[in-house]
Amino acid sequence: MHTTYFRNFRYQMLFSSLEDTINLDNQVRFIDAFVAFIDISKLDFAIKTLQTEGRPSFNSKVFLKMYLYGYLNGIRSGRDLEKECLRNIEMQWLLEDIRPNYHSITDFRKNNPTALKNTFKLFVSFLKDVDLIGGETIAIDGAKSRAHNSKKANFNQKKIDQHLEYIETKTQEYLDALDANDTKENPVKIQNIQQKIERLKGNKFRYELLEEKLKASGEPQISTTDSDARALLVQGQVVEISFNIQAAVDAKHNLVVATHTINKNDRSALSAIAI
């Protein structure tokens, strides 16, 4: 009987609007109002021209609303934000049921790093204007965020030298094996040695290019996936390829007033974030 009731309820027609589902004090109403009143062109956002032919571009404010909502609710990736557009009533109200795909979402973040920083600064100014920031006591701390770059794809000069030395040693071993085989009365056909030597030559060329890039950068390390990521001490003696996210928090309402992402350890980070 209960199963029949729920099955029938799903097919009942209901008349309502998204407006009725969002309370007047819901945070998404603030996001909507905040974005509506700012001039995103003055924040250096890349403004797309709405085309009259073909599929029209999304308004940049749609993506800004989406990212602010994602920040407040711990939703970071473009794919996850795309899912929320399909199933989250708050997101549907905020975006007026516009549903961008994750490619467009991630492109917005990739194309507007400076503008997003400017938006954060503008928001902090707003918090100061409405007296939500005391400005008397600021707490500063750092948190390591692991990069996509693996340890194998992070190099310093010592590591490159080790790889080059290994390649030289293995190449000489293969050449010696070929010479020794040639002196035998009945030489044995050695499989794949020439292919192995060619592969080692290719690897040597790759590491020599990395060495040139490392020297040109003036940095002690180089990462091949996330170029700005570095090997950092995360906890105790544990080293991970990471970024170091510095944050300054105002004591009055525990609001973040400044952030700074670096690729060095905390010891050399305090002065920059304090300033």
H or E segment and range at residue 13 = none
Whether 12 and 79 map to the same domain: the answer is: yes
Q: Which of 194, 219, 244 is the last residue of a domain?
A: 219
Residue in the structure block whose two tokens are 């770059």: 149
Token pair of 72 as six digits: 């407040």
Whether 172 and 247 map to the same domain: the answer is: no
H or E segment and range at residue 120 = helix 113-129
Whether 51 and 116 map to the same domain: the answer is: yes
132's CB contacts (< 8 A; 6+ apart) are 252, 253, 255
pTM of the predicted model as reported, rounded to 2 decimal places: 0.68
10 Å Cβ neighbour count for 219?
Answer: 15
pLDDT tens series, the chain, 275 aa: 555 555 677 778 878 888 999 999 999 999 999 999 999 989 999 876 666 666 667 889 999 999 999 999 999 889 999 999 999 999 999 999 999 999 999 999 999 999 999 999 999 999 999 999 999 999 999 889 888 888 999 999 999 999 999 999 999 988 888 888 777 766 656 667 888 888 999 999 999 999 999 999 888 999 998 888 899 988 878 889 999 999 999 999 999 999 888 888 888 788 888 88
Whether 215 and 252 map to the same domain: the answer is: no
- Per-residue b or e along 63-97, where b marks 16 or more CB atoms closer than 10 Å to that residue's CB: bbbbbbbbeebebeebeebbebbeebebbbbbbee
In a domain, residue 135? The reply is no
Whether 116 and 14 map to the same domain: the answer is: yes
Question: Number of C-alpha atoms within 13 angstroms, CB side, residue 266?
Answer: 10
Give the per-residue pLDDT at 6.
56
- Per-residue b or e along 196-214, where b marks 16 or more CB atoms closer than 10 Å to that residue's CB: eeeebeebbeebeebbeeb
Whether 100 and 15 map to the same domain: the answer is: yes
Whether 54 and 172 map to the same domain: the answer is: no
In a domain, residue 235? The reply is yes
In a domain, residue 54? The reply is yes
10 Å Cβ neighbour count for 150?
Answer: 14
Contact 121, 44 (CB under 8 A): no
Whether 59 and 101 map to the same domain: the answer is: yes
Residue in the structure block whose two tokens are 């030298």: 161
Whether 6 and 76 map to the same domain: the answer is: yes
Whether 180 and 88 map to the same domain: the answer is: no
In sequence order, the β-bridge partners of residue 207 are none
Whether 9 and 118 map to the same domain: the answer is: yes
Whether 190 and 97 map to the same domain: the answer is: no
Give the per-residue pLDDT at 130.
93
Token pair of 173 as six digits: 């071993």
Residue in the structure block whose two tokens are 């995360």: 234
Q: Which of 204, 201, 184 is nearest to 193 (CA)?
A: 201
In a domain, residue 206? The reply is yes
State the residue range of the domain holding 51.
2-130
Domain count across the chain: 3
Contact 251, 134 (CB under 8 A): yes
